[in-house]
Amino acid sequence: MNEIDRNRDSGISDRRAVTRYRIDRLHPIGGEMSDIVIGLFRRLQLSELTKYHNSTVVLAIFSLINGFLSIALMSIVALLTRSPFVFPSLGPTAFLFFYTPTAPPASPRNTIVGHLIGALAGWASLAIFGLSAAPPALATGVVWPRVGAAALSLSLTGGLMVLCKVPHPPAGATTLIVSLGLMPHFWQIPILMAAVILLTLQAIVINRLAGIDFPLWKPKPE
């Protein structure tokens, strides 16, 4: 391949990347949040507000309101059911859903399977190191078995996500939540996954309402 062909291919690749992730002069803070905001304004027939869709202040307000509603919904379910329906790694998942919704890690498949891998890897690591009934690391401090469980859980999660082709970075937090003893019981995993699925359904509704081509399961092909 000569220099011209290489430059041409590089230019095409760069243009595709800009289009794919919407990080360009029209979206100065990056991501696709601007597209979601303008889509919702149009859907709600707030045409006068569409000219402000790319305002940093408007995007910040949308992020504030949407983040509040997303996690408040989980917290209400947790309160009503007396179950651990809200946990820290839901936060970065929600951010992916509404910041780069068409990026592969934000797809429902990657999200659900990724968190499932993380939860199971964390629980298996606890069992291997005999920590299933131990108090959480925050209460007792970190001991050598806990070091092994945390390291094994994260390495298993990363390796299995790559092997299954379902990368979802927040799943790395999920596996540490489990392996550090914050959610150590196997019966908590279905609750954890129910929360992930509920947040995913919310992302599908909001992004589709805004006209974003958010996948129903696996990422859209390049």
Provide DSSP, 123-183: HHHHHHTT-TTSPPHHHH---HHHHHHHHHHHHHHHHHHHHHT---TTHHHHHHHHHTTSS
Is residue 177 within 8 Å of residue 87, measured between CB atoms? yes
What residues have CB less than 8 Å from 194, skipping those under 6 apart? 85
Q: What is the pLDDT of residue 17?
A: 46
CA end-to-end span of the chain = 23
219 DSSP 8-state letter: P
Name the residue among 220, 218, 214, 202 with its Cα closest to residue 39. 214
Is residue 158 within 8 Å of residue 118, measured between CB atoms? no
Q: Is 117 exposed, middle or buried (0-12, 13-18, 19+ CB in 10 A)?
A: buried
pLDDT at residue 114 greater than cutoff 50: yes
Q: Which two tokens stand for residue 153?
A: 């859980």
In whole angstroms, what separates CA 9 from the centre of its chain?
Answer: 31
Percent of the chain with pLDDT strictly greater than 70: 86
- Higher-confidence residue: 35 or 182? 182
Compute how many other C-beta atoms are within 10 angstroms of the C-beta atom of residue 75: 13
pLDDT at residue 55 greater than cutoff 50: yes
Q: Where are the domains of the chain?
A: 83-209
- Quick: pLDDT tens for 131-179: 999 999 999 899 999 999 999 999 999 999 999 999 999 999 999 999 9
What residues have CB less than 8 Å from 24, skipping those under 6 apart? 18
